[in-house]
Amino acid sequence: MTDTTDYRVELYLRGDTYGSYDRQQRVLERVEDLEAEGVVADTEVDASWQRIRTPEQDSRDEAVRTYEELREWATENGYRLEPAFQRRQRSYIGTDVVHDVVVFPMASLAVYAGSDLQAVFPCADESGEIHYSVQDCLDAFESGDAGWFEQFAPVTVDRAAPRLTVDAD
């Protein structure tokens, strides 16, 4: 690994996955190594995302707001977050209640350069033929190929720090 960037990496891990703990830990170790080796300026990890979140549940962990930020990046770049992320409706048996929900992947990664969101993984091009995984991103960092990220157009976001904690009011 070489010192190639001033990127900040945010890793989001689903906390309710079963049978994927070892894979999540390998991703986490690789991300931590990037910071330890000086390849990225900073890393942040949120391991509390749940499989399904509704806007009503989001007041605690802001996962849906982060998803909307990631989706904006995908739209601006001509990519999509599906099939890794899913947006759909969920109904409840015996009621007329229907909620819009977001289904999160086992692991996702957002790469920031200052206040710009540079890239999101996993993602796919609009045709669904080209997929970029979290591993693809980590491989690019580890090989010192900062130019690999230039294929993605940054989107300016309204924050320079992750939404990993809720402000106490």
- DSSP 8-state code for residue 116: E
The sheet that has 79-80: what strands, in order across it? 79-80, 123-125, 131-132
Pairing of strands 8-14, 42-49: parallel
Task: Estimate to the nearest angstrom the gap between the alpha carbon of 138 and the chain centroid.
Answer: 13
Query: Count of alpha carbons within 13 Å of 155, Cβ hemisphere only?
Result: 18
Q: What is the pLDDT of residue 162?
A: 61
CA distance 133 to 149: 13
| 2-61 tens-digit pLDDT | 445 689 999 999 887 777 889 999 999 999 999 999 999 999 998 878 777 666 665 556
The residues, ordered by sequence, that sit 6+ positions from 151 with a Cβ below 8 Å of its Cβ are none
165 against 72, higher pLDDT: 72
Binned at pLDDT 50, 70 and 90, residue 163 comes out as low
CA distance 92 to 97: 6
Strand partners, 76: none
- Residue 94 main-chain phi, psi, to 5 deg: 85, 5
**Residue in 146, 132, 160 with CA at minimum distance from that of residue 69:** 160
Q: Which of 16-20, 125-129, 139-143 has the highest mean pLDDT?
A: 139-143
Q: What is the pLDDT of residue 31?
A: 97
* Cis-peptide, bond into residue 83, ω within 30° of zero: yes
Q: What is the pLDDT of residue 132?
A: 97
Pairing of strands 116-121, 123-125: unpaired
Q: What is the pLDDT of residue 58?
A: 54
164 against 52, higher pLDDT: 52
Q: What is the pLDDT of residue 5?
A: 60
Amino acid at 81: L
| 78-115 tens-digit pLDDT | 999 999 998 887 777 788 877 788 888 999 999 998 88
Binned at pLDDT 50, 70 and 90, residue 168 comes out as very low
Q: Is the pLDDT of residue 160 over 80?
A: no
